[in-house]
Structure 1
Amino acid sequence: MKDSSSISVVGIDVSKDSLDLFHTINGQQQKIAYQQDSLKLLARQIIKLNATVVMEATGGYEKKLVKYLQSQGIACAVVNPKLIRDFARACGKLEKNDAIDARIIASFGQMMQPRTMGKIDRNREKLKLLATRREQVQSMITQESNRQQQIEDRQIRAFIQRAIQLYQKQLKKLDNEMLKVIEADQTMKQKSEILLSAKGVGPATTANLIAGLPELGQLNRQQIAKLVGLAPLVRDSGKFKGQRRTYAGRSQIRRILYMATLVATRWNSRIKAFYLSLLERGKPKKLAITACMRKFITILNSMMKNNQTWDQNLLAS
C-alpha cells in the first residue's frame, strides 16, 4: 500500500442535482451542478490532478458520473456508505452535511485506498437491471399470494388474482429478456453454460450471478465467500471467544444463492451429501444451509476460474 499522504484523491458526495467535491492534494472544496457541462470541467480538473475518484453508492445516482469519468480514463471507486459512516465515527466526525461528507469520503479514499471499479459493461448493467426487476416482481407475486390467502371476499380475491397473473406475465418477459442479453454476449453465454451445469443453478440464479457478481472466478475461495457475506468472521478479544457469524456482503446474491442451495440440497448429490453430513453431526439446519451456500459458491467460483462445467469439476476434485 502506498503512503497515503502522497495519494491524490477527489472525494465526491453525489446527490440528485449536485456534486460536492474535496481534493486531498490542494484542499479545494467545490459544489457543482450534476449536469453534462459541469462533468466535462470536472474531468479536466481530475486529469490535471492525476487523481482517483472515490464516492459512495447512492442507489443509482452515481452511475451516470462513473460512466462519464471512466469514459475519460479516470479511475473510480464506489464504496459502501456504511464503511464511510464507520470511518467518520472512528475519526470523531459526528457532523454531517454534503461538504463534510465529501471531505470524509476523500480522507477515506486516501487512507484506505479502495479498489477501483472495472469499466462498466453495458450488457452486464442491462442484465443487472433485468435481474433486479425480476426479484422485485417475484417479491410482489409472493406478497399478493399471501394477501389472497388472508381474504375471504370473492371479488377482492379476483382482483388480487388478476394482479398476480399480470406479474407472472411480466416475470416470463423478464426471463426472456435476460436470456436474450446473455445469448447476445459471448462471454456471458460461456459463463452461463458453466453455471447451468450445476444442479440447483437455474436461469434466474445464473443471470444474477453474472450481473451481480462479476468477480466470480477471479478471487480465491475465502475472498469470494467474504464478498457474498458467507465467510464466518472472527469476534475474539483476549480470553473471550466470540461466536463466528456471517454478515455484510451482497445481500441480493445471498438471497438468490439461498434458494439455489435449497434446491441443491435435494438434487445435487455433492451438496446434498455435505448437507446431510452436517445434520448428522448435530449442526442446526440454518447453520448447515449457510455452510452449504458457502461450499456451493466456492465450487462455482472454482468452476469459473478453471473454465470447467460441474461434471468436469467433480472429476478433477
Structure 2
Amino acid sequence: MKKFIIGIDFSKETVDASIVQKEQPETLIAYKKFRNNLKGVDGLIAWAKSKVAQDGEIIFCGENTGTYSTLFSDELTDRGFIIWIEHSMNIVRGMGDVRGKDDKTDSLRIASYAARFYDKMKPYVRPKDETRVLKTLLAKRDRLKSFLKAEITNTKENPLMLQDSNIASSINEFFKRLEESLRKELKELERMILDVVMSCSEYAKNFNILTSMKGIGLINAVALIVYTDNFTKFNFNHRKIATYWGVVPFKNESGTSVRRGTHVSPKCNSWLKALLTEATLCAIRYNSRIKAYHDRLMARGKAIGIVLNNCKNKMLKILVAMVRDSKIYSDMDVSKDPHTTTTTSSIVVC
C-alpha cells in the first residue's frame, strides 16, 4: 500500500497543506489552503481523499503550534486519521540548509520531513479534558502569582510621597485591598486545580502518592502528572523525566581541545525546573532522607549547585518509583494505603 504524507503548516486563521508520497518526499503532488475551523477540517479530508489513490494510506504531519494546531489534531484523530505533531525545532533541523520561507513551502518541507523520518513517527493522542484544564489553570496561576509579586514589590519600592496624608492613606488602603483580592483569587485557583485532580480517579491516585513525600505539594504534584501524561509519556524512565525537567548533566567535549565540563542543558521547561527547585529546598528542610543525602554531599565538599541538582534528581527518581509501584512515601519504608483520601487542608502549595 502506498503511503501519502500531508504536511500541514498551521497559523491562526488558515492552514496550508501539501501532499507527497513517502517514497518521493521532494515531489509535490498537490497543495491547497484551508480555514482553521471545522469546515476547514472537512475540506482538507475531502481534498486529501480526492488526490490520493483509493488504496493509499494518508498520514498527516504538522508542527506543534499550541492552540493553532489543536483543532485539526483533535478532529483528525477523532475521525480515525493518523496525525503526527512534531516539535518545530526537530523539523527545522531536519530540513537542513534552506533558503527563504512561505506557508506553501513550509507545508511541503514538513511533508518531506515526515516522509524522510517516517520511522520516528509518534501518532498524536488527544489529551484528557482534565489535562487541558489543569494546564490552563496552572498557567493562569503562574501569571497571577507573577502579577501579585510584581504589585507587592512595586508598592514596597515605590511608596507614595504626598503632602496630603489622607490621600496617601486612602490610596495605600486601596493597594492593600488589591493585594488581598489577588491572594484570594490565587487560593481559589488552587482550589479549582485540586478539585479537577480529585475528580479524575487516575490522577487522584497518583496525586495522593506524590504528595505523601514531604516537599511535594499541590503544584509540583499536578505538574508532574500533567506534563508526563500521568507518567505514561516517558514510560516511567526517571532519567528522561529528569532531562525534560532540565536537571540531568551532559558532557560537552570534542577531541582533545574542547573541554567545557559537565553541565545541565538549557533546553528544558524552565518553569517546571523552577517548581522542582522550590520543592527540593523544602524537602532539604523537612524530609529526613533528602536532608541526609544533602548533608552527605555537602560534607564531601561538593558545590551547592551540584548538591541541589543531585537532590532534584534523587527526588524525581524516588517519585517515579513511588508511582510505578503504587506506594506512598515513607522515611522508614513502611507501606501504607496509596488510596487514602487527601483533604484540602492537608495540601501544601509548592
TM-score interval, normalised by the smaller of the two chains:
0.7 to 0.9
* Structure 1 residue 116 displacement after superposition: 2.9
* Structure 1 residue 46 displacement after superposition: 5.6
The two structures have a TM-score, normalised by structure 2, of: 0.80
Q: Which residue of 2 aligns with 1:303?
A: 322
User: In the alignment, residue 137 of structure 1 is paired with which amino acid?
Assistant: L
Q: Secondary structure at the match of 2:176?
A: helix
2:77 pairs, out of 70, 75, 82, with 70
RMSD of equivalent CA atoms: 2.5
Q: Which residues of 2 match residues 229-268 of structure 1 at below 5 A?
A: 229-239=246-256, 240-247=258-265, 248-268=267-287
Taking structure 1 as reference, are residues 312 and 74 closer, same or farther at Cα in structure 2, changes over 3 Å only?
Answer: farther
Taking structure 1 as reference, are residues 96 and 260 closer, same or farther at Cα in structure 2, changes over 3 Å only?
Answer: same
2:204 pairs, out of 164, 180, 189, with 189
User: In the alignment, residue 32 of structure 1 is paired with which amino acid?
Assistant: F
Which stretch of the first structure deviates more once superposed, 298-307 or 156-165? 156-165
1:216 pairs, out of 225, 231, 255, with 231
* Structure 1 residue 288 displacement after superposition: 1.9
* Structure 1 residue 53 displacement after superposition: 2.6
Q: Which residue of 1 aligns with 2:39?
A: 37
Taking structure 1 as reference, are residues 245 and 172 closer, same or farther at Cα in structure 2, changes over 3 Å only?
Answer: same
* Structure 1 residue 261 displacement after superposition: 1.2
The answer (yes or no) to whether the contact 1:10–1:24 under 8 Å persists in 2 is yes
Taking structure 1 as reference, are residues 24 and 309 closer, same or farther at Cα in structure 2, changes over 3 Å only?
Answer: farther
User: In the alignment, residue 136 of structure 1 is paired with which amino acid?
Assistant: R
1:16 pairs, out of 12, 22, 30, with 12
Q: Secondary structure at the match of 2:177?
A: helix
Structure whose residues are more often helix by fraction:
1
* Structure 1 residue 156 displacement after superposition: 5.5
Give me the whole-angstrom Cα distance separating, in 2, the residues matched to 1:215 and 1:111: 31
Q: Secondary structure at the match of 2:123?
A: coil
* Structure 1 residue 197 displacement after superposition: 0.8
* Structure 1 residue 307 displacement after superposition: 1.4
2:245 pairs, out of 213, 223, 228, with 228
The answer (yes or no) to whether the contact 1:303–1:313 under 8 Å persists in 2 is no
Taking structure 1 as reference, are residues 209 and 152 closer, same or farther at Cα in structure 2, changes over 3 Å only?
Answer: same
Equivalenced residues, count: 309
The two structures have a TM-score, normalised by structure 1, of: 0.87
The answer (yes or no) to whether the contact 1:191–1:304 under 8 Å persists in 2 is yes
Q: Secondary structure at the match of 1:310?
A: coil
Give me the whole-angstrom Cα distance separating, in 2, the residues matched to 1:139 and 1:126: 20
Alignment pair present for 1:147 and 2:159: no
Give me the whole-angstrom Cα distance separating, in 2, the residues matched to 1:228 and 1:78: 21
* Structure 1 residue 291 displacement after superposition: 2.0
Q: Secondary structure at the match of 1:21?
A: strand
Alignment pair present for 1:274 and 2:289: no
Whichever of the two has the greater Rg, that structure is 2
Give me the whole-angstrom Cα distance separating, in 1, the residues matched to 2:303 and 2:171: 41
The answer (yes or no) to whether the contact 1:257–1:293 under 8 Å persists in 2 is yes
Unaligned runs of 5+ in 1: 1-5
* Structure 1 residue 36 displacement after superposition: 0.9
Give me the whole-angstrom Cα distance separating, in 2, the residues matched to 1:214 and 1:163: 36
The answer (yes or no) to whether the contact 1:261–1:289 under 8 Å persists in 2 is yes
* Structure 1 residue 255 displacement after superposition: 2.2
Q: Which residue of 2 aligns with 1:80?
A: 87
Q: Which residue of 1 aligns with 2:123?
A: 116
The answer (yes or no) to whether the contact 1:224–1:298 under 8 Å persists in 2 is no
Unaligned runs of 5+ in 2: 22-26, 161-167, 336-350
